[in-house]
Amino acid sequence: MDTAGFLNIKGSEIVGADDQPAVLRGTSLGGWMNMENFITGYPANEEGQRQAIRQVLGQDKYEFFFDRFLEYFFTEDDARFIASLGLNLLRLPVNYRHFEDDMRPFEIKASGFKHLDRVVELCAKHGIYTIIDLHAVPGCQNGDWHSDNPTHVGLFWQHKHFQDRTVHLWQVLAEHYKDNPWVAGYNPINEPDDPSECLIEPIYRRLVDGIRAIDPQHLIFLEGNHYARDFRMFGEPLPGVVYTHHDYAAPGIVAGGRYPDLVAGQYYDRETLQETFLSLSKYMLDHHVPIWVGEFGAIYTGDSETDAMRDQLVRDQLEIYKHYHASWAIWLYKDIGLQGLTYAAPESPWRQRIESFAKKKARLGTDSWGGRDTHIRHILEPLEQTFAAEFPNYQPGPLGSQKRQIKRLVCQILLAEALLPEFAELFRDMSETAIDEMMQSFLFKDCIIRKPLAETLAAYAH
């Protein structure tokens, strides 16, 4: 393992210990210590899945089930592959529940560090920096599944108790990693959505102060409000802070259509992508501070023509980031075939076991990311028509829409929650040997590499 010094900020650049620019380019281990339904195939939110599986397997097998998953999802082979592409960064999304129980607030579970330390060390061994990303905070920072939210309300912003616990957890994490230079820094809250727009900056200042009281050296990566896209409410940049946005382009989502072409009434080409990037990056550019694109990427469909267009979309984004010396982490490293740089093979034990269930889940449109509502329009349309007639001015949040809110409540919460027992039943009566063999589906040697994407990332890794 090469020696690394702590990263720092010099003007608009992240720099290494030698004071030379150090652009961070890599990917994210989403779906691992913060599980997401579209990544591994379960319905609803992570905690709901865990409760259902615990009920079916019992406590001992439940613990074995998820420990084997965490073990096999990322091993040294994965770190070696990432390094072989020339990438130097892995963002590590984490759920607070690994470290703290809601019934025992402020009591830290040391077991939470078992797999996190393992992956940080594997990455360091292969010259890869890591960023610790608290993807799900106590109380949930937004209303979506990826903050492990069973509802549509982010209660983090409404209760000081949740804010206190988040600061405390970050102080524990800072104490644990303060002497590790291969940890590039801390990403305190993923995709915050403060509806008041007046709480996020003082909470960020409190988090930064809390971390700095323990660890004055590591970089801190702060995301914009409203899902890492809005910096209007931010004041002057804080020292030692990298500001970060998420840059998903409409042509790359599931119903995005062709690229370049019209999408939802707007023409998208490389120039449009650059305009969007510059708009998202305005705060950083105006204040001459570094830019980190914490998430971007495309959803793949299996159609060769569509997927080729989405590969071009990613290449165009990477070319823009290169021009503006922006660091980046593409979403996503590994999944079951929708977006990952690698993915579990269709014939793997995991994919085979959940295959028929996954088809039902897709038919009901219960996943927000990658899901379609084609087969449940007969449920949604009457609600959409009612809201359009009775509540024409109803606007659920700055970035929301009536249709999105209806789909979220009906499909991604109501129908998804009803599917949880059925998903858990897939694993009833499994032996530990069978569970172990099934979880090996996520081993790198048994996964498929999305080669065009790998080649593109390698081309822009330097």
191 is an active site residue: yes
Catalytic choice (295, 422, 425, 455): 295
Catalytic one of 13, 36, 46, 191: 191
CA distances from 247 to 29, 30, 88, 228 (A): 17, 16, 20, 9
Q: Dmax over Cα atoms in the chain, in whole Å?
A: 64
Looking at the DSSP bridge assignments, the partners of residue 92 are 132
CB 187 within 8 A of CB 242: no
How many other β-carbons are positioned within 10 Å of the β-carbon of residue 234? 17
pLDDT of residue 399: 74
Residue 1 confidence (pLDDT): 42
What is the model's pLDDT at position 407? 96
Give the Å distances, CA to CA, from 177 to 71, 222, 224, 256, 444. 21, 18, 25, 40, 27
pLDDT for 387: 97
CB neighbour list of residue 115: distance below 8 Å, 6 or more residues apart:
32, 33, 70, 71
- Kindly report whether the global pTM for this prediction surpasses the value 0.85: yes
Domain layout of the chain by residue ranges: 8-346+445-459
**Spatial distance between the Cα atoms of 220 and 36, rounded to a whole number of angstroms:** 24
Alpha-carbon distance of 78 to 72, in angstroms, equals 10
* pLDDT of amino acid 3: 57
Architecture label for domain 8-346+445-459: Alpha-Beta Barrel (3.20)
pLDDT per 10-residue tile (average), the chain, 462 residues: 80 95 97 98 98 98 98 98 98 98 98 98 98 98 97 97 98 98 98 97 98 98 98 97 97 85 88 98 98 97 93 98 98 98 98 98 96 96 97 87 95 98 98 98 98 98 94
- Bridge partners, residue 225, by sequence: 230
The residues, any chain, with a CB within 8 Å of residue 332's CB and separated by 6 or more, are: 27, 28, 30, 31, 39, 297, 339, 340, 341
Predicted pLDDT at 140 = 98
Cα dist from 292 to 289, 363, 414, whole Å: 10, 36, 36
Residue pair 414/44 in contact (Cβ under 8 Å)? The answer is no
